[in-house]
Amino acid sequence: MKKTRIILLLPIFLLLLGVGCHKDPTPDSFTSDQSGTSLTSYTSGTTESSDPYISEDLTPYWVTFVTDTEATLERVHTGVIREMPVVDNPGFTLVGWYLEASFINIVSFPYYVKEDVTLYAKWSKGEISQFTYNYSDDLGGYIVTSYGGNAVNVVIPSTYKEKPIVAIGQQLFYRNGAIEAVSLPATIKVIEMQAFKDATSLLEIRLPSSVVEVGTDAFAGASSLKTAILSSNLEVIGNNAFEGTNLTSVIIPAMVKEINYQAFAAIPTLNSVTLEALTPPLRFHSSFEGANASLKYYVHGQVLNDYKTSPYWQDYASLIFAKA
């Protein structure tokens, strides 16, 4: 009987021992309420602000905003501004933020703050009232889905219902023969399929640094388009994106990974392509099909051989030169 008592009491003893050995949560653990929702997390000294633009994980400096409109932004103390701050200014669109009041050097986001700085908002005036929008959860903002105007100079607003405008929607200006110029806000991430296809009067496009993708046929058939300034953060140039335009030269930014099928095809005026990437991006044989017979590609000298021997570019080795 004594052995039986010992066996029966052993689980109770172990249970009491476990209670006595209970430890408080460590700094790497979470505490929760009864619903299981995390209430507190402990990290390695990083404090996240409730402001989506601000993160305090770097050495902070003061950033002051000059909005040049009635709406203002309070100055912030931070090491990085991860997304472009937006502010309403009815009748205008925010072109971007600059380091000088004379608008010389535009700021790209995320912007890593190295010293106390003042940022200046630059605005562009134009028609902004005849658009409709759809919200995109994936992009975190509104896509411009339709346009009912016939203006020569069109300004895309930077916000709608206090959310950023993040994409130019499919066929937004398809076969629009009136538009000659468009101002895109620095919130745009994507130019969608056929957004400016056959917009035959469009003369120039400047993609803000926020743009990461130009979709299929985005500017195809925009036969008057002579200048395209591409985004410094652009990664993908879609199929036929600039086919049939009137470009004479183009700079492909360093972040571009794909120059897809016939992206710059049927442009007999195109005679110079500068590639800023140190790693040769993907291209197809047809990517520049139908360009000027004297077309030359210019790359950084230290990667000249990389381009000449790349499986994507080796067939064009005799046309690839080190940029000055």
Do residues 108 and 131 both lie within one domain?
A: no
Q: 3-state SS of 85-99?
A: CCCCCCCEEEEEEEC
pTM value is 0.67
Residue ending a domain, among 97, 124, 151, is 124
Residues making up the chain, counted from first to last: 324
**How many domains are there within the chain?**
2
Residue ending a domain, among 93, 124, 155, is 124
Do residues 159 and 106 both lie within one domain?
A: no
Do residues 188 and 110 both lie within one domain?
A: no
Do residues 88 and 175 both lie within one domain?
A: no
Do residues 202 and 109 both lie within one domain?
A: no
Cβ proximity of 94 and 185 under 8 Å = yes
The pLDDT profile of the chain, 324 residues, written as one tens digit per residue, is 444 444 444 444 444 444 444 333 333 322 223 333 222 222 222 333 334 444 445 799 999 999 999 999 999 999 988 777 878 787 777 777 889 999 888 787 778 899 999 999 988 775 455 899 999 999 999 999 999 888 888 888 888 888 999 999 999 999 999 999 888 888 999 999 999 999 999 999 989 889 999 999 999 999 999 999 999 999 999 999 999 999 999 999 999 999 999 999 999 999 999 999 999 999 999 999 998 889 999 999 999 999 999 999 999 999 999 998
Residue 317 lies in a domain: yes
Which residue range(s) make up the domain with 93?
54-124
Do residues 100 and 163 both lie within one domain?
A: no
pLDDT of amino acid 234: 96
Helix (H) or strand (E) segment spanning residue 322: strand 320-322
